[in-house]
Amino acid sequence: MEKRLISLEIFLVEQVKGMLDKIQQNLFDVAKQKRDACIEVVKTWDEFIKALGQKKLILAPWCDEEEVEKDVKARTRGEMGAAKSLCTPFEQPELPEGETPFKERSWN
């Protein structure tokens, strides 16, 4: 009888663990879908401002210079607050051939 109880306990533990793994994966997948739906890839200042107005998470080519970040914050400061950089992704959006990075562009 004791062997059966141990076997049943092991079975239940494995079943619960499997269910929790599925729940965790589902929560992750849903959160990732929601995040990805809010990302807007932009390459121009006009696209940047439009996406910011829509409260999107903006993915733009980045030069990684502090003075450019300060300029973007200053130029976007308003009722909603200012744009700020969150992180530098491993995969940056590519600019069309012949374009220069944002730091050298006219942000008008």
Residue 105: its pLDDT value, please? 46
pLDDT score for 1:
63
Which residue ranges of the chain lie beneath pLDDT 50? 104-108
Distance CA 8, CA 2 (A): 10
Numbers of helices and strands, H then E, in the chain: 3, 2
Would you give the DSSP letter of residue 77?
-
What pLDDT score does 96 carry? 61
pLDDT of the residue at 24: 98
State how far the Cα of 80 lies from the Cα of 52, in Å rounded to an integer. Answer: 9
Model-wide pTM > 0.85: no
- With vertex at residue 48, the alpha carbon angle to CA 45 and CA 49, rounded to the nearest 5 degrees, is 90
